[in-house]
Amino acid sequence: MKSEIIKYIESQKSLHLYKNLQNAFIDVLSHLTQEQFEKIRNYLIIMAFHQGTVGQVMHFDARKSKFAVMQLYIPNNMPKDVMGWVVAHELGHVMQERNWKESDGINLEDDATKFAEKIGYPKTKKISDWLVAEKA
Ligand SMILES: [Zn+2]
């Protein structure tokens, strides 16, 4: 699966300049089952915003069915464990296959955090504290 993961990450053009983020994705995706990974690969487009830009366009191959876009802003000072948790948590939202609605309250957030924990990325106090300090 490792080479399939690397191929998928290389296909995500907005990640090209961010080696740390590519490595975080490769780590997190390695914790998924083959079935979960295939869902991500077929469903998800990842958009990392380039620091200092106000807008950007990335070209991707056409998709035939429903898909999700993961938008990420990763500050330069984000620690490795926080980055891994953010990627794992957002993949939890991808697994939900729909957008938040008011009646969900924090349920979808808790669900995404549980998914991250289940694949090996628990939200530690250090991660919580960093996110609060950065108001992320
Ligand atoms: Zn969330």
Instruction: Tell me the CA–centroid distance for residue 112 and ligand 1, in Å.
Output: 6
**What is the C-alpha to C-alpha distance for residues 109 and 99, in angstroms, rounded to an integer?**
11
Instruction: Tell me the CA–centroid distance for residue 79 and ligand 1, in Å.
Output: 18
Reported as a pLDDT band with limits 50, 70 and 90, residue 136 is low
Instruction: Tell me the CA–centroid distance for residue 40 and ligand 1, in Å.
Output: 16
Rg (the chain; Cα; Å) = 15
pTM over 0.85: yes
Q: Residue 135 contacts by C-beta under 8 Å, 6 or more apart in sequence?
A: none
Quick: pLDDT tens for 98-118. Answer: 999 999 999 999 999 999 999
Instruction: Tell me the CA–centroid distance for residue 90 and ligand 1, in Å.
Output: 6
Residue among 97, 115, 31 at smallest CA distance from 5:
31
Domain ranges of the chain: 2-133
Instruction: Tell me the CA–centroid distance for residue 123 and ligand 1, in Å.
Output: 12
The gap between the terminal CA atoms of the chain, to the nearest Å, is 32
**What is the C-alpha to C-alpha distance for residues 9 and 25, in angstroms, rounded to an integer?**
7
The answer to whether residues 70 and 44 touch, using CB atoms and an 8 Å cutoff, is yes
Instruction: Tell me the CA–centroid distance for residue 110 and ligand 1, in Å.
Output: 8
Q: Where are the alpha helices (DSSP H) in the chain?
A: 2-11, 19-29, 34-43, 80-96, 107-118, 125-133
**What is the C-alpha to C-alpha distance for residues 22 and 26, in angstroms, rounded to an integer?**
6
**What is the C-alpha to C-alpha distance for residues 65 and 116, in angstroms, rounded to an integer?**
26
Quick: pLDDT tens for 34-67. Answer: 999 999 999 999 999 877 777 888 888 888 888 9
Residues with CB under 5 A from ligand 1 (ion): 109, 112
Instruction: Tell me the CA–centroid distance for residue 37 and ligand 1, in Å.
Output: 19
